[in-house]
Structure 1
Amino acid sequence: MERAPGPGRLLRRSEFLAVAGARRKWVAPGLILQIRRHDDRQRPAAGEPSVRVGFTASRKVGGAVERNRARRRLRAAVREIVPVLAAPGHDIVVIARAQTLSRGFDDLRQDLETGLRRLGAAREGSAS
């Protein structure tokens, strides 16, 4: 399968709020996935990747060390799955949950894959 360039990053609060405002989310044991299709109001600048990803972990996950570890695990899963599976033209927010730290890495990747498919953000013809 053809691998697209790596995803860009969502960094500003307004970008995260826009994705949450789309009200398209999927909850899995290891993560929460929120997705928003690009439109005229908010999209990447010319030359930036067409898929952007943001990560967040609240204090419910644990202290700073646990939150950072959870975000690292989610970033690693996104690096493997999103360039292969995600359709261009989407902003994605991946939210850590308390189980993110204890869930097996293969299960985290599967949660991400399933969420992309369920929310309609997977590439056409991409089969597992």
Structure 2
Amino acid sequence: MAPRRIAVVGRLLKRSEFLAVAGARRKWATPGLILQARAHDDRQRPAAGDVLVRVGFTASKKVGNAVKRNRARRRLRAAVRAVLALHGKPNTDFVVIARSETVTRRYADLLADLTLALKKLGAWTEGARAFAIPAPQPAGPDAGPNSPAAS
């Protein structure tokens, strides 16, 4: 059995990180979301050993009340796990901005919006080889009888 690979996506948390991505002026708008991208440079990059792709989420009051904004962010996080984790260009920061239609848009259309935005920004890669880490594997004969290596 081949080892399972897990794509790791970090988070943007500081306002300065969000502003740096917005300052790059690389964005693509679709009906379900707006995607902003910024390649890492010497001024702002993750620490050594950190993940190579980071993402931040924004939902303003234009989206709706708190319930709608939270739902929009949850839907965007799920879309990012499905698409950006596997196909986002390494050494890039992304900000995903919710729009009013994010809450009601079909999930498949939301995935298509994110895919289109990644391709239009030139941040689409095939597969997660550049920033994937292997899942932990049991260590040899000490793995135990119930381990996947024993079957």
The answer to whether the Cα contact below 8 Å between 1:56 and 1:71 also exists between their aligned partners in 2 is yes
Match of 2:93 in 1: 91
TM-score scaled by structure 2? 0.79
Q: What secondary structure, in the 3-state scheme, does the structure 1 residue paired with 2:54 have?
A: strand
Match of 2:13 in 1: 11
Superposed CA offset, 1:40-82 (max 9, x none): 0000111211000000000000011110000000000000101
Residue 9 of structure 1 and its aligned partner are, at CA, apart by 0.1
Q: What secondary structure, in the 3-state scheme, does the structure 1 residue paired with 2:7 have?
A: coil
**Pairwise mapping of residues 1-128 of structure 1 onto structure 2 (< 5 A)?**
5-123=7-125
CA distance 1:39–1:81, change in 2 (3 Å): same
The answer to whether the Cα contact below 8 Å between 1:31 and 1:100 also exists between their aligned partners in 2 is yes
Measured in 2, the distance between the counterparts of 1:106 and 1:32 equals 16
Measured in 2, the distance between the counterparts of 1:59 and 1:97 equals 10
Residue 3 of structure 1 and its aligned partner are, at CA, apart by 5.4
Measured in 2, the distance between the counterparts of 1:34 and 1:46 equals 24
Measured in 1, the distance between the counterparts of 2:34 and 2:57 equals 10
The answer to whether the Cα contact below 8 Å between 1:3 and 1:84 also exists between their aligned partners in 2 is no
Gaps of 5+ in 2: 129-151
CA distance 1:125–1:79, change in 2 (3 Å): closer
Could you say which structure has the larger radius of gyration? 2
Superposed CA offset, 1:94-125 (max 9, x none): 00000001100000001001101110111158
Aligned length: 125
CA RMSD of aligned residues (A): 1.6
Gaps of 5+ in 1: none
* Counterpart AA for 1:107: D
